[in-house]
């Protein structure tokens, strides 16, 4: 409830003309102040007029006025700067450490505002909190929020890339390689792929890229997927095991513990075996992850990932059984997914790091040219009237669902804010 009161104060959602102190003095809020997320009063540098007298200082908010004492603010000099105490229930008066009284205001909101907020955020999980009201939000307002969400998600991804660069000692190629590995895991196995790439540096794979057995042996061995294959009679598998053992002894390689590969209810073409074989084939084919920072067009970005599988993995999705030959490593849709989740974040991160607006703008434009992704997130919003024509929009909708809707952060969502703001007046 206190967080909800802070939200109302921050966004000036109180009932207009009804601000008065507990002793009847009229209050006009000139500046509600800046929200403080650390220790101290809730809002810094506020300006309020009380019966025509201007006060500048801080604002503290409590559900009950007596929380001032319960939280130990009485006698604490850090709260002497408070010029207004905003409460839900005025059950006592409060003073500064020198005994001087602090003006107190009971927040005037709609009687059912809290009830309506709870009704929004606590509706059945699996449905958007605002599903029944979303159609009534003006389209221009929704598009503006989508634009902000798309950039928010892109910056989140490019920040992760910059973290990889720092971790790699400034090596953009290795950072791009880790980003690629994470992207190959898609959502289900992204974390295991990232941990694998961090434990097996790109330079080691590149040094032995002329030997498919060595590259695959290192990837599959470090992934822990060769452990159960010692009795496999296939000659190629035994070569992989032999190469991994040689490399592990030479470089003192130890596989990460508990990678937790997931394969249940997964299409065979998405098995980690197939993705690792594809990554190995890219390395052997001369792929350089760092080239992502220099792509000029969407077609050039897509061409980085077009590859045919040959030999052992052209007819297998795992070690278990042989199938009909499948030359193409990944589909066009999956190639676009790699562009979205590897090329674009790396290109954008490089532009941010080098203050290169051409690259950051190119990353956004590329995303706008890719067809919208088809997944559970975009299908949900499509059913509610928000169409997804490009990846720029689909990435925004993924951000909205995963970072706001699923965690019920309606107070921080512009759509939720608009709907709740309309409910303040009694």
What pLDDT is attached to residue 414? 87
The answer to whether residues 55 and 150 belong to one domain is: no
HEC string of 68-132 equals: HHHCCCCCCHHHCCEEEEEEEECCCCCECCCCCECCEEECCCCCCHHHHHHHHHCCCCCCCCCCC
The answer to whether residues 256 and 288 belong to one domain is: yes
Q: What is the mean pLDDT of the chain?
A: 90
Decide which of 109, 134, 159 is a domain's last residue: 109
Q: What is the pLDDT of residues 255-311, one digit of tens each?
A: 999 899 998 888 888 899 999 999 999 998 888 888 999 999 999 999 999 998 888
Task: Select, from the ranges 16-20, 290-294, 363-367, 422-426, the one with the highest average predicted confidence (pLDDT).
Answer: 363-367
115 domain-assigned: no
Decide which of 330, 347, 375 is a domain's last residue: 330
Q: Do residues 131 and 18 make contact, with C-beta atoms less than 8 angstroms apart?
A: no
40 vs 109: CA distance, rounded Å: 25
Which one has a higher pLDDT value, 116 or 217? 217
What pLDDT is attached to residue 425? 44
pLDDT exceeding 90 applies to what percent of the chain?
67
DSSP classification of residue 240: H
Number of domains in the chain: 3
Q: What is the pLDDT of residues 369-410, one digit of tens each?
A: 999 999 999 999 999 899 999 999 999 999 999 999 888 888
Decide which of 73, 88, 109 is a domain's last residue: 109
The answer to whether residues 32 and 155 belong to one domain is: no
The answer to whether residues 185 and 278 belong to one domain is: yes
Q: What is the pLDDT of residues 156-183, one digit of tens each?
A: 999 999 999 999 999 999 999 999 999 9
Question: What number is the average pLDDT over the span 91-114?
Answer: 83
Pairing assessment for the beta strands 53-64 and 82-89 based on DSSP bridges: parallel
Which one has a higher pLDDT value, 115 or 198? 198
Pairing assessment for the beta strands 34-35 and 43-50 based on DSSP bridges: antiparallel
The answer to whether residues 73 and 97 belong to one domain is: yes
pLDDT over 60 at 7, yes or no: yes
Question: What number is the average pLDDT over the span 207-236?
Answer: 94
The answer to whether residues 326 and 184 belong to one domain is: yes
pTM of the model: 0.79
What pLDDT is attached to residue 136? 85
What pLDDT is attached to residue 325? 64
Q: Do residues 219 and 276 make contact, with C-beta atoms less than 8 angstroms apart?
A: yes
Q: Any idea how long the chain is?
A: 426
362 domain-assigned: yes
Band (pLDDT 50/70/90 cuts) for residue 252 is very high
The answer to whether residues 418 and 393 belong to one domain is: yes
* Domain of 64, in residue numbers: 2-109
CA torsion 316→322→325→328, rounded to 10°? -10
CA distances from 252 to 199, 204, 279 (A): 12, 12, 22
Band (pLDDT 50/70/90 cuts) for residue 6 is confident
Q: What is the pLDDT of residues 28-46, one digit of tens each?
A: 999 999 999 888 899 999 9
């Amino acid at each position: 409830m206190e967080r909800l009161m802070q939200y109302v104060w921050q966004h000036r959602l109180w009932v207009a003309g009804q601000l008065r102190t507990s002793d009847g003095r009229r209050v006009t809020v000139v500046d509600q102040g800046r929200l403080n997320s650390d220790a101290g009063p809730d809002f810094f540098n506020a300006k309020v007029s009380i019966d025509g007298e201007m006060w500048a200082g801080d604002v503290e908010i409590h559900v009950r006025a007596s929380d001032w004492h319960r939280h130990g603010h009485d006698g604490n000099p850090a709260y002497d700067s408070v010029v207004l105490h905003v409460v839900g229930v005025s059950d006592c008066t409060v003073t500064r450490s020198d005994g001087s009284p602090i003006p107190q205001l009971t927040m005037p909101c709609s009687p059912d505002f809290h009830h309506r907020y709870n009704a929004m955020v606590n509706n059945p999980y699996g449905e958007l909190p605002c599903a029944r009201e979303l159609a009534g939000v003006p389209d221009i307002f929704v598009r503006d929020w989508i634009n902000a969400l798309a950039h928010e998600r892109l910056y989140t991804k490019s920040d992760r890339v910059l973290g990889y660069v720092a971790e790699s000692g400034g090596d953009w190629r290795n950072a791009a390689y880790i980003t690629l590995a994470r992207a190959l895991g898609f959502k289900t196995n992204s974390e295991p792929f990232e941990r694998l790439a961090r434990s097996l540096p790109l330079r080691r794979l590149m040094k032995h890229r002329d030997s498919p057995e060595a590259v695959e042996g290192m990837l599959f061995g470090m992934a822990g997927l060769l452990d159960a294959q010692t009795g496999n009679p296939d000659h190629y598998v035994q070569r992989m095991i032999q190469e991994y053992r040689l490399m592990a002894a030479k470089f003192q390689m130890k596989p990460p513990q508990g990678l937790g590969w997931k394969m249940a209810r997964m299409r065979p073409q998405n098995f980690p075996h197939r993705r690792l074989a594809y990554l190995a084939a890219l390395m052997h084919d001369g792929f350089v992850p760092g080239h992502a920072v220099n792509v000029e067009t969407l077609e050039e970005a897509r061409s980085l990932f077009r590859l045919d599988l040959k030999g052992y993995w052209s007819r297998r999705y795992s070690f278990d059984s042989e199938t009909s030959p499948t030359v193409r490593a990944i589909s066009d849709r999956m190639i676009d997914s790699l562009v979205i989740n590897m090329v674009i974040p790396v290109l954008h991160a490089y532009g941010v790091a080098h203050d290169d607006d051409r690259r950051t703008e190119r990353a956004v434009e590329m995303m706008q040219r890719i067809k919208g992704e088809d997944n559970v997130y975009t299908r949900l919003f499509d059913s509610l009237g928000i169409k997804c024509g490009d990846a720029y929009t689909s990435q925004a909708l993924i951000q909205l669902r995963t970072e706001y809707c699923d965690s019920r952060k309606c107070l921080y969502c512009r759509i939720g804010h608009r709907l709740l703001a309309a409910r303040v007046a009694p």
